[in-house]
Structure 1
Amino acid sequence: MKIIYIFPPLGHAGEQVRSMPLMPPVLEYLAGLTSSIRPDAEIRLINANVERFSVDDLSADIVGISILTHQSSWAYRTADRLRARGVKVMLGGPHPSVLPDEAKQHADSVVVGEAESVLATVLDDVQRGELQPFYHGQLLPVDGAPFPRRDLAPGYVFRSFFTSRGCPYDCKFCATPELHGSHVRYRPIPEVIKDLGSCNHKMWFCTDADSWGPNVPRYTELFREMSTSLPGIRWVGETSIASVQHQMGEEMLNWARRSGLMQVWIGWESFSEATLREYGATAKMLDERQDALKKIRDNGIDVVLFIMLGSRNESLDEYQRVLELCDRLAITPHPVMVVPYPGTAMYEELRQDTLHFGEWDYYDGMHSILTQNGGDNLGHEEALKQLWVDSFTWPRILARLRALPLKGFPSAHIASGIVQAALRKAFREYVERKG
């Protein structure tokens, strides 16, 4: 059986992928899962952000496309072209999982939710020529999860691993609890260690929704074991701030750095307490946020803050405030527009207040799509572009590097330099294209 898995273009974010290449985690994992079910399957992985290919030349028993919301238009067009040639197409991932009926208009089959419980049935049905319109995955324990296939697409700087799935927080802008459950399923620590040690690779990205929480003792044990069993690896992860404020937070951070953690990407969301309450994000942030940032940095770990702007009642002054606060904290910002993604509480609550509702190309974090007081959506978009340009001048990049403590040298400094240069390049190219 011949199978092709495709990850669509990310738009402007694809520039970051090219600057700091990370193999899309879903591709490697789907290949590993498929190989565990059908070891003799011929598998091709296509990352459309970096690989040039002709859709009309693709041939397989089944083509699977994993889709994020803002990738939908490209994915649907590609699926339509493949099906017009008689190629069977299966769609899955976050967007088809929350809008399966829409996705089915462009696919022979849609996998709703996680694939582990249904992929064997899907492949059997493909072989019999009896593909069903929908397959509904269950949330299974992640014990014994297959290792990703990391041999099918060489040349990437970063490879991925995971230690858990699910998220206990109920932020209104996030679909993770809807897609992967509100109860965290932990992968056994020995399996994580074995996975990371299964290939000779040193640079990693952790795909957990929260790479060090909420079970702080468990993550402390994990980092301690990683530092002992996997010397020399370096990694980056996405995290929340609450776990740092735990009574074991300092010990966890110490072992995290010793395990090779260079940098964390934190969902900071907003500097405004009122906006955090509007987003439903206070539970994952707690009270001593800026002190927690200092703890992370003091332990030699670099920080990037995901910040969402463009909420309905937000002033244009907030963009300059973000820049000033990040300057004071010597922290790298990653500002984007707030997006009411399908599958989130915000999607339903703000349905009547969303411009371009259901026009998925606008759901990329670059466009202001929530109605603004005074209707100045273009003003917010221009303010965001200016914030990108101002945030990544060389003097600001160097100031952040100088502010990193020597405890993290050289790993945190190298990671920070690479990421900031990649963000500078991606954002400036986007601004130049849009004018």
Structure 2
Amino acid sequence: MKIRFILPALEEAKSPYWRPIKYSLFPPLGLATLASLCDEDDEIEIVDEHVEEINLNDNPDLVCIESYITNAFRAYKIADSYRSRGIKVAMGGIHATSLPQEAKAHCDTVLLGLGERSFVEFLKDCKDGHIKPFYEQGQVSLEGLPLPRRDLFKREKYLVPNSMVFSRGCPNKCSFCYVSSFFQGGKTFFTYEVDRILKEIESMKGRHLYFLDDNILADKKLVRQVFKEMKGMNRVFQGAITVDSILEDDTIELAYEAGFRSAFIGFESVNMDSLIQANKLSNINMDYNQAIKKLDQLGIMINGSFIFGLDNDNLDVFDKTTEWAINNGITTATNHILTPYPGTSIYKKMIHDKRIYTNDWRLYDTRHLVFNHPNITKEQMEYGYNKAYKDFYRWGNIIKSSKEHEEIRMKMKHFSYAGAWKKFEPVWNFLIKNELLSTARGTLVRTLK
């Protein structure tokens, strides 16, 4: 069977916010995972529309499309194009799982939740000629699964081709989190076994890794074993962690010894009432300054994530958050306007309260306000969001923030990393256009180590 896996471009790819380097970081790992479950004699291709054009005139036997909320309309357009020619289309991913009936109008079958088990059943049914309209996630187990088909990636098109996960889901239940909508009414966190994790790490060439897990420290027993084994591998890696996981014990020290050099942390808000509203349990009553200092002393940079638009926020939230991030030496910032994704508890509450005023999924990109806020207008919210980014990444503030670190090495790492990420856009665009991202990987490793 000839199978084509497609990741449609997010809406941002056609907007003024488009940054080619942001969407040239990681290949579509989820699609490579499903590809590993296909039969040996299947002819398989993975197409990522963020880095390449899609030929909609080819003739595969089956098309499998991954959907997110802001690529939903593009996913539907691609699916409709194939189906108009009698080609079978399956759709999965977070958006299709959250709104399966909407997705079903554009495809032959919807794969709900994690597909590691249901996809095998679907493929068998597809080859037998009697597919079902929906395939439930069923009993999830990550045991015995093959490694993702990384041989199908076009490595030259990505800055970080060595991305992986050793867990699926998250044990936390933040009200705004899209991940929680993926797991309905049951267990929400699963992990691979240590031996499989190490096997996957060893299978990837190069020093740099990026763990795409929602929280790499969620299972302390597991990661402590992994980090101890990684200590002699001469790797450097990045990943997401929570504030509480930094302060609990010495696991973060083990992570650093294994090569952990840059942490994505969802601080979300510097307002305690907002954290309580969002059910951000991993941050409530936690000492942000102590956690930041601990990482800085080790030599781990921070990419801080912040949310604007929680109900307790006022017009001063943008300047307060930006000032806090600069004064605490946060290397890079990822800002979001609160977005009530379908399937989340905050979406359900806002629907009940009749606060959401648009279902145009193209606007659910965390850059637009899509609900009625009690204190901030749509225009004020979107202006403040953009201003916060501009202020944080001004050269003067990059320099000021880099000086907050105790050691010279961290001051230099902060300055070079933040500057390169936001200020060298023409250089990144040139590297991407000429497929030279692989030449930048060595510089990235030197900066991180």
Q: What is the TM-score of this pair, normalised by structure 2?
A: 0.86
The structure-2 alpha-carbon separation of the partners of 1:267 and 1:227, relative to structure 1 and needing over 3 Å to count, comes to same
* Matching residue of 1:309: 308
Q: Secondary structure at the match of 2:172?
A: coil
Q: How many residues are aligned here?
A: 416
Q: Secondary structure at the match of 1:308?
A: strand
Which residue identity does 1:47 align to in structure 2? Answer: D
Q: Secondary structure at the match of 1:196?
A: helix
Matched, 1:255 2:265: no
Deviation at 1:367, TM superposition (A): 0.4
Any gaps of 5 or more consecutive residues in structure 2? 429-449
Q: Does structure 2 conserve the Cα–Cα contact (< 8 Å) formed by 1:114 and 1:139?
A: no
Deviation at 1:417, TM superposition (A): 4.9
The structure-2 alpha-carbon separation of the partners of 1:98 and 1:75, relative to structure 1 and needing over 3 Å to count, comes to same
Which residue identity does 1:335 align to in structure 2? Answer: N
Q: Secondary structure at the match of 1:373?
A: coil
Please give the residue correspondences for 1:202-241 in structure 2 after superposition, counting only pairs within 5 Å.
Answer: 202-213=207-218, 215-228=219-232, 230-231=233-234, 233-241=235-243
* Matching residue of 1:242: 244
* TM-superposition CA deviations, 1:271-315 (whole Å, max 9, x none): 111111111113455421221122112211111111110234421
**CA distance, structure 2, for counterparts of residue 209 and residue 19 of structure 1:** 18
Q: Does structure 2 conserve the Cα–Cα contact (< 8 Å) formed by 1:30 and 1:148?
A: yes
Q: Does structure 1 conserve the Cα–Cα contact (< 8 Å) formed by 2:34 and 2:119?
A: no
Deviation at 1:128, TM superposition (A): 2.6
**CA distance, structure 2, for counterparts of residue 392 and residue 243 of structure 1:** 28
Matched, 1:341 2:341: yes
Q: Does structure 1 conserve the Cα–Cα contact (< 8 Å) formed by 2:403 and 2:411?
A: no
**CA distance, structure 1, for counterparts of residue 426 and residue 10 of structure 2:** 17
Deviation at 1:264, TM superposition (A): 1.2
Q: Does structure 2 conserve the Cα–Cα contact (< 8 Å) formed by 1:263 and 1:416?
A: no
Matched, 1:145 2:140: no
The structure-2 alpha-carbon separation of the partners of 1:410 and 1:206, relative to structure 1 and needing over 3 Å to count, comes to farther
The structure-2 alpha-carbon separation of the partners of 1:105 and 1:315, relative to structure 1 and needing over 3 Å to count, comes to same
Worse-matched range after superposition: 143-152 or 360-369: 143-152
**CA distance, structure 2, for counterparts of residue 259 and residue 14 of structure 1:** 34
* Matching residue of 2:113: 113
Q: Does structure 2 conserve the Cα–Cα contact (< 8 Å) formed by 1:19 and 1:422?
A: no
Q: Does structure 1 conserve the Cα–Cα contact (< 8 Å) formed by 2:112 and 2:135?
A: yes
* Matching residue of 2:435: none
Worse-matched range after superposition: 20-29 or 334-343: 20-29
**CA distance, structure 2, for counterparts of residue 419 and residue 265 of structure 1:** 15
* Matching residue of 1:165: 168
Worse-matched range after superposition: 374-383 or 204-213: 374-383
The structure-2 alpha-carbon separation of the partners of 1:145 and 1:416, relative to structure 1 and needing over 3 Å to count, comes to farther
Matched, 1:27 2:31: yes
* Matching residue of 1:175: 178
Q: Secondary structure at the match of 2:289?
A: helix
**CA distance, structure 2, for counterparts of residue 54 and residue 422 of structure 1:** 31
Deviation at 1:21, TM superposition (A): 2.2
Please give the residue correspondences for 1:7-22 in structure 2 after superposition, counting only pairs within 5 Å.
Answer: 7-12=7-12, 15=19, 17=21, 21-22=25-26
Please give the residue correspondences for 1:327-366 in structure 2 after superposition, counting only pairs within 5 Å.
Answer: 327-331=326-330, 332-351=332-351, 352-366=353-367
Q: Secondary structure at the match of 2:116?
A: coil
**CA distance, structure 2, for counterparts of residue 271 and residue 26 of structure 1:** 33
Which residue identity does 1:260 align to in structure 2? Answer: G
The structure-2 alpha-carbon separation of the partners of 1:149 and 1:202, relative to structure 1 and needing over 3 Å to count, comes to farther
Q: Does structure 2 conserve the Cα–Cα contact (< 8 Å) formed by 1:240 and 1:267?
A: yes
Q: Secondary structure at the match of 1:370?
A: coil
**CA distance, structure 2, for counterparts of residue 74 and residue 150 of structure 1:** 25
Q: Does structure 2 conserve the Cα–Cα contact (< 8 Å) formed by 1:168 and 1:184?
A: yes
Which residue identity does 1:172 align to in structure 2? Answer: S
Q: Secondary structure at the match of 1:316?
A: coil
* TM-superposition CA deviations, 1:9-63 (whole Å, max 9, x none): 13337625457521122122222233xxx112111111111111232x2321111
The structure-2 alpha-carbon separation of the partners of 1:46 and 1:410, relative to structure 1 and needing over 3 Å to count, comes to farther
**CA distance, structure 1, for counterparts of residue 20 and residue 402 of structure 2:** 19
Matched, 1:299 2:298: yes
The structure-2 alpha-carbon separation of the partners of 1:119 and 1:320, relative to structure 1 and needing over 3 Å to count, comes to same
Q: Does structure 2 conserve the Cα–Cα contact (< 8 Å) formed by 1:168 and 1:177?
A: no
Q: Does structure 1 conserve the Cα–Cα contact (< 8 Å) formed by 2:210 and 2:237?
A: yes
* Matching residue of 2:84: 84
What percentage of aligned pairs have identical amino acids? Answer: 26
Deviation at 1:372, TM superposition (A): 2.2
Deviation at 1:184, TM superposition (A): 2.9
* Matching residue of 2:385: 384
* Matching residue of 1:433: none
Deviation at 1:374, TM superposition (A): 6.1
**Pick aligned residue for 1:188 from 190, 193, 208:** 193
Q: Secondary structure at the match of 2:237?
A: strand
Which residue identity does 2:363 align to in structure 1? Answer: Y
Deviation at 1:139, TM superposition (A): 4.2
The structure-2 alpha-carbon separation of the partners of 1:216 and 1:425, relative to structure 1 and needing over 3 Å to count, comes to farther
Which residue identity does 2:34 align to in structure 1? Answer: L
Which residue identity does 2:225 align to in structure 1? Answer: E
Which residue identity does 1:245 align to in structure 2? Answer: L
Q: Secondary structure at the match of 2:86?
A: coil
Deviation at 1:185, TM superposition (A): 2.1
**CA distance, structure 2, for counterparts of residue 107 and residue 19 of structure 1:** 26
Q: Secondary structure at the match of 1:165?
A: strand
* Matching residue of 2:94: 94
**CA distance, structure 1, for counterparts of residue 399 and residue 24 of structure 2:** 19
**CA distance, structure 2, for counterparts of residue 217 and residue 412 of structure 1:** 31
Q: Secondary structure at the match of 2:36?
A: helix
* Matching residue of 2:41: 40
Which residue identity does 2:276 align to in structure 1? Answer: R
Deviation at 1:178, TM superposition (A): 3.9
**CA distance, structure 2, for counterparts of residue 338 and residue 134 of structure 1:** 31
The structure-2 alpha-carbon separation of the partners of 1:127 and 1:17, relative to structure 1 and needing over 3 Å to count, comes to farther
What is the Cα-based RMSD across aligned positions, in Å?
2.5
**CA distance, structure 1, for counterparts of residue 418 and residue 24 of structure 2:** 11
Deviation at 1:254, TM superposition (A): 1.9
Q: Does structure 1 conserve the Cα–Cα contact (< 8 Å) formed by 2:337 and 2:367?
A: yes
Q: What is the TM-score of this pair, normalised by structure 1?
A: 0.88
